[in-house]
Amino acid sequence: MKARALVPIIYILFLLLPIYWLVAMSFKTTNEILGGFSLFPQTWTIENYAVIFTDPSWYWGYINSIGYVSLNTIISLAAALPAAYAFSRYRFLGDKHLFFWLLTNRMAPAAVFALPFFQLYSAVGIFDTHLAVALAHCLFNIPLAVWILEGFMSGVPKELDETAYVDGYSFPAFFLKIFVPTIKAGIGVAAFFCFMFSWVELLLAKTLTAVAAKPIAAVMTKTSSSAGFELGLLAAAGVLTIIPGAIVIYFVRNYIAKGFALGRV
Footprint of another protein on 66-95 (CB under 8 A): 75, 78-80, 82-83, 85-93, 95
- Nearer to another protein by C-beta: 34 or 46? 34
Binding mask 100-129 for another protein (x = CB under 8 A): x-xxxxxxxxxxxxxxxxxxx---------
- Asked if 227 is part of the footprint of another protein (rule: CB under 8 A), the reply reads no
Whole-angstrom distance, CA of residue 127 vs CA of residue 212: 10
From CA 83, how far away is CA 171, in angstroms rounded?
14
Of 145, 139, 33, which is closest to residue 80 (Cα–Cα)?
Answer: 145
| Least CB distance to another protein at residue 242 (A) | 5
Which residues, 6+ apart, have CB-to-CB distance to 201 below 8 Å?
Answer: 110, 137, 140
CB 216 within 8 A of CB 65: yes
CB of 192 to another protein, least distance (A): 9
User: Pseudo-torsion of CA 143, 148, 151, 156, nearest 10°?
Assistant: -120
Number of residues that bind another protein (CB under 8 A): 100
Q: Which of positions 159-218 make contact with another protein (CB under 8 A)?
A: 196, 199-203, 207, 216-217
Of 42-50, 52-60, 139-147, 178-186, which segment contacts another protein by CB under 8 A? 139-147
Distance separating alpha carbons of residues 94 and 97, to the nearest angstrom: 5
User: Which is nearer to another protein, 112 or 166 (by Cβ)?
Assistant: 112
User: Could you give the C-alpha distances from 219 to 75, 134, 208, 238, in angstroms and in order?
Assistant: 25, 18, 14, 11
DSSP state string for 46-70: -HHHHHHHH-HHHHHHHHHHHHHHH
* Residue from 2, 14, 54, 227 in contact with another protein (CB under 8 A): 14
> Closest approach of Cβ 144 to another protein, in Å?
10
Considering the complex, state which of residue 139 and residue 185 has its C-beta at the smaller distance from another protein.
139
Separation of alpha carbons 209 and 10, rounded Å: 40
Comparing CB distances to another protein, the nearer of 93 and 166 is: 93
> Nearest distance from residue 39's CB to another protein, in Å?
7
Closest contact distance (angstroms) between CB of 221 and another protein is 6
Q: 52, 191, 235, 236: which one contacts another protein (CB under 8 A)?
A: 235
CB 180 within 8 A of CB 104: no
Q: Which is nearer to another protein, 58 or 87 (CB)?
A: 87
Q: Which one among 11, 44, 53, 165 touches another protein, defined by CB under 8 A? A: 11
